Structure 1
Amino acid sequence: MAKRTGSVPFEADRAVPGLIVKFGAYPLHHGGVGAIRSLGRLGVPMYAITEDRYTPAAASRYLERAFVWPTTGTEEPERLVEGLLRIGRRIGRPTVLIPTDEEAAVLIAEHQDALTDRFLLPRVDPQLPRHLASKQRLHELCVEHGIPSPTAAFPQSYDDIVDFAEKARFPIVAKNREAFVRRSRPAVNGTTKISTREGLLALARDWGEHPGVILQEYLPREEAEDWIVHAYFDQDSTPLALFTGVKVRSWPPHAGMTANAYVVDNPELADLAARFIKQIGFTGIIDLDLRFDRRDGQYKLLDFNPRMGAQFRLFENESGVDVVRAMHLDLTGRPVPEGEQRAGHRYIVENIDLPAFLAYRRSGYTTPHAPAKASGTELAWLAGDDLRPFFTMLARFVRPGAKHLYQLWRTNRRGSSTSSGSQQ
């Protein structure tokens, strides 16, 4: 069971609240609960945007108030900005914004001038978070700055896909080109492994006149390891908290949300991430997914999330600082204490790790860098000082959640033969 963080050698500004900002319907989000607990345990008043009053976040003892605001993530930006400002007026004092999805992170960056009267937020190039969340623009930035990434193609028509299929080495991976896939009809359902030329052409017939996909080299899991980097960078793009870890299991297998991970020191990876952030001039929290390709010895950047990652509570330094605490301290003008990361610490997301464990056991995949024994364990949902989110999660998860996990498993099983499935 996750334990309440003990005394820390710093004091947060308790006069400045935090607000969890989320757009779209995903009520079982453990990252938001983790942020509420992390700052709430320091005495920081916490608020959250929720789908309804019965989400795990709304049930936390550390939440001052849930602002019930059902959204889809596809609303006009002006409506979302006005909604945030309305919430800011209700809180009545400057508040740190903590986005939990790309839509929120991009909206905040692109409308930061309108939001700064009510909120505290990292000042960043307004277009940069959108570029980083885009698969195509991220790939272009990697090429521009010498950061390894899987080779990729960006077809503009069906004919382009036919030409690509004639030269490609299968299997390949297809992803939606842009981050905002809550639109009415995304091209693919997440990361999709395509095993044959025929499978690609069959899928592509449904992608329309202008296919919004990226076709990417497949990095075989037998020759790769999944790594993550979480960090917070100040106004000078200097890391005030930077952590590295290895992903042991995810759901769907090998492609989805982290289900089980360990903190593992990786100076090479930390340097790579810090160099890239300095080059592009980003400010704020990042969550990076990279795959180490044993065939050429390179860490290849797969995804750049310009916001807090759901599994951020895996990482905390010896001074008790995680990325959310680092941001709150920095934006309120307080120093961020340094310290080594808790090497060997483990993070488990209870509701998805069991099916992930069974799937990985069946495949025989193992993670060489995972410690034989954890130095400590942080659970995503269960916390002795805040039990209600765990039981609220169970109540909402058991029937629809189990059905959803089964559907994801079925999709993944079918993917190995023709055109669908999540592998990267």
Structure 2
Amino acid sequence: MPSHPAVVLDLSANGVGIIHALARRGIDVYAYDTKGPYSKGKSRLASCAVCPSPLTEEKALLTFLKGVAIKFDQKPVLYAGADDYVVFISKYRAELSEYYLFLYPEHSLIEDLLDKKKTYDLAMKYSIPTAKTFFVETDEQLDEAIFQLEFPCILKPVFGHEFRKHINKKAIKIHDAYQLKRVFPVYSKYGELIIQELIPGDNQTFYKVAAFFDDDMNLLSLFTLQKNHQFPAEFGTGAHIVSKRVPELVDIGVPLLKELGLKGVSMIEYKQDPRDGQFKLIEINPRFWLTHSLTGHSGVDFAYSYYLYLTGGDPAPQLEQIDGVQWIYLVRYFLTFLEKRRNGEMTWKDFLRGFKGKKVYALLALDDPMPFIRSTTSHLWNAWKRNRKE
């Protein structure tokens, strides 16, 4: 039996995926999150509890985690499923490394990747194709951007994890200059914004390449995937995706991650522009991503390889994957289907076809039903409230 426990910070579907991957291999898992996510994500496969916020209670969370770790005979492996926790762990890495096992790149790089301005600068430095982007701080810069823009375009926060505390959107679609001038000052109250061209193409033009590099930047895990559907349908996160090896993504993504020194687990998202066929950079995440639970069912188990490496297990590199395995976040897939059906973009036949073949569910699990029940109830309740407002 594995002797090192695992501590997971995050009880969203991302964190629950880590719990499932480890607990089913006999690893003792302890999972924590702030009160809201905890109430929706508590798992029977882990010992779960509420923890202080990494945003507003840093010192309390540091004390809390030290108190958790000293109860164990062996250092726990520390996992984070959300940006807030990644930043916290990285910031306090010197103290936390005395109590936990984890692997992150330099703190300055993590900060750069969570800042869309600096990510854009990295794209320019390494000649990575990206959407046309404008950084606006004054009325004059806004007018200049409008002069150069084609509409519709999108408005995005520079710091997405900070912005979503106030506005639960990844991006806002802007249809014309009048709307942009009207809403820009409204949304800018919640943080810095960028204006970006809208790359055409449906959900299936989104791809990800993920990698796990060890301390010496040796590649231990590699995975690529394609989105089929996301939630919300226009600007959202994965609802239905499929494992798919995309050699071109491997060729451009892996050298970039290595050049940046992104040790540990990381992921790059691209969108393929149908106008020129180029894969254009969307974001780089220095952490486990929402749909990582697909990897273990496709022959590349990121969560377990990370555990083995940090506990001296010397995992063999997993660089080949099984293609065609589908990952389904059931309630989000259903709600996205309803939205696309209203717009004439999807039929019941299309929806049911999404369940054919080998598949894994984000949360649906007979041995751990409550995360699925809570998440489904919450999503349906929120959808009902939105429909009432409309």
TM-score by shorter chain over 0.5: yes
1:77 to partner: Cα distance: 3.3
1:324 to partner: Cα distance: 1.0
Q: Are the counterparts in 1 of residues 110 and 286 from structure 2 also a CA contact under 8 Å?
A: yes
Partner of 2:23: 40
Alignment of 1:88-99 (within 5 A): 88-99=69-80
Percent identity of the aligned residues? 24
In the alignment, the residues of structure 1 paired with residue 13 and residue 202 of structure 2 have an alpha-carbon distance, to the nearest angstrom, of 30
In the alignment, the residues of structure 2 paired with residue 300 and residue 143 of structure 1 have an alpha-carbon distance, to the nearest angstrom, of 12
Residues 210 and 121 of structure 1, relative CA distance in 2, 3 Å threshold: closer
In the alignment, the residues of structure 2 paired with residue 172 and residue 407 of structure 1 have an alpha-carbon distance, to the nearest angstrom, of 28
More helix by share: 2
Partner of 2:157: 176
Partner of 1:322: 301
The C-alpha deviation readout for 1:37-60, integer Å capped at 9, x for no partner, is 111111111110034597465332
In the alignment, the residues of structure 2 paired with residue 374 and residue 339 of structure 1 have an alpha-carbon distance, to the nearest angstrom, of 26
- Report whether the alignment pairs 1:85 with 2:66: yes
Partner of 1:119: 100
Q: Are the counterparts in 2 of residues 100 and 308 from structure 1 also a CA contact under 8 Å?
A: yes
In the alignment, the residues of structure 1 paired with residue 209 and residue 28 of structure 2 have an alpha-carbon distance, to the nearest angstrom, of 28
Partner of 2:3: 15
- Report whether the alignment pairs 1:191 with 2:157: no
Q: Are the counterparts in 2 of residues 249 and 258 from structure 1 also a CA contact under 8 Å?
A: yes
Residues 34 and 207 of structure 1, relative CA distance in 2, 3 Å threshold: closer
Q: Secondary structure at the match of 2:290?
A: coil
Q: Relative contact order (alpha carbons < 8 A, sep ≥ 6): 1 or 2 greater?
A: 1
- Report whether the alignment pairs 1:147 with 2:140: no
Partner of 2:283: 303
In the alignment, the residues of structure 2 paired with residue 242 and residue 404 of structure 1 have an alpha-carbon distance, to the nearest angstrom, of 36
> What is the number of equivalent residue pairs in this alignment?
383
- Report whether the alignment pairs 1:393 with 2:375: no
Equivalent position amino acid for 2:264 in 1: G
1:147 to partner: Cα distance: 1.8
The C-alpha deviation readout for 1:64-114, integer Å capped at 9, x for no partner, is x2232253x421533332332222223453011110111111121222111
Q: 2:42 aligns with which of 40, 43, 58?
A: 58
1:166 to partner: Cα distance: 2.3
- Report whether the alignment pairs 1:360 with 2:340: yes
Q: Are the counterparts in 2 of residues 223 and 295 from structure 1 also a CA contact under 8 Å?
A: no
Gaps of 5+ in 2: 347-352
In the alignment, the residues of structure 2 paired with residue 315 and residue 57 of structure 1 have an alpha-carbon distance, to the nearest angstrom, of 21
In the alignment, the residues of structure 1 paired with residue 287 and residue 130 of structure 2 have an alpha-carbon distance, to the nearest angstrom, of 20
Alignment of 1:222-301 (within 5 A): 225-301=205-281
The C-alpha deviation readout for 1:324-357, integer Å capped at 9, x for no partner, is 1121111112232335211000010112111112
Q: 1:136 aligns with which of 113, 117, 120?
A: 117
Residues 404 and 70 of structure 1, relative CA distance in 2, 3 Å threshold: farther
Q: Are the counterparts in 2 of residues 223 and 294 from structure 1 also a CA contact under 8 Å?
A: no
Residues 276 and 194 of structure 1, relative CA distance in 2, 3 Å threshold: same
1:231 to partner: Cα distance: 2.4
Partner of 1:405: 383
In the alignment, the residues of structure 2 paired with residue 336 and residue 218 of structure 1 have an alpha-carbon distance, to the nearest angstrom, of 41
Equivalent position amino acid for 1:19 in 2: V
In the alignment, the residues of structure 1 paired with residue 388 and residue 146 of structure 2 have an alpha-carbon distance, to the nearest angstrom, of 26
Partner of 2:358: 376
Partner of 1:201: 181
Q: Are the counterparts in 1 of residues 203 and 227 from structure 2 also a CA contact under 8 Å?
A: no
In the alignment, the residues of structure 1 paired with residue 91 and residue 52 of structure 2 have an alpha-carbon distance, to the nearest angstrom, of 22
Residues 87 and 34 of structure 1, relative CA distance in 2, 3 Å threshold: same
In the alignment, the residues of structure 1 paired with residue 190 and residue 337 of structure 2 have an alpha-carbon distance, to the nearest angstrom, of 39
TM-score by length of 2: 0.88
The C-alpha deviation readout for 1:292-335, integer Å capped at 9, x for no partner, is 112111111112221111211112376x4411112111111223
Partner of 1:421: none
Alignment of 1:157-176 (within 5 A): 157-176=138-157
Equivalent position amino acid for 1:404 in 2: N
1:151 to partner: Cα distance: 1.6
Residues 381 and 339 of structure 1, relative CA distance in 2, 3 Å threshold: same
Residues 394 and 170 of structure 1, relative CA distance in 2, 3 Å threshold: same
Q: Are the counterparts in 2 of residues 252 and 409 from structure 1 also a CA contact under 8 Å?
A: no
The C-alpha deviation readout for 1:211-230, integer Å capped at 9, x for no partner, is 60011111122597111223
In the alignment, the residues of structure 1 paired with residue 326 and residue 166 of structure 2 have an alpha-carbon distance, to the nearest angstrom, of 37
Q: Are the counterparts in 1 of residues 239 and 329 from structure 2 also a CA contact under 8 Å?
A: yes
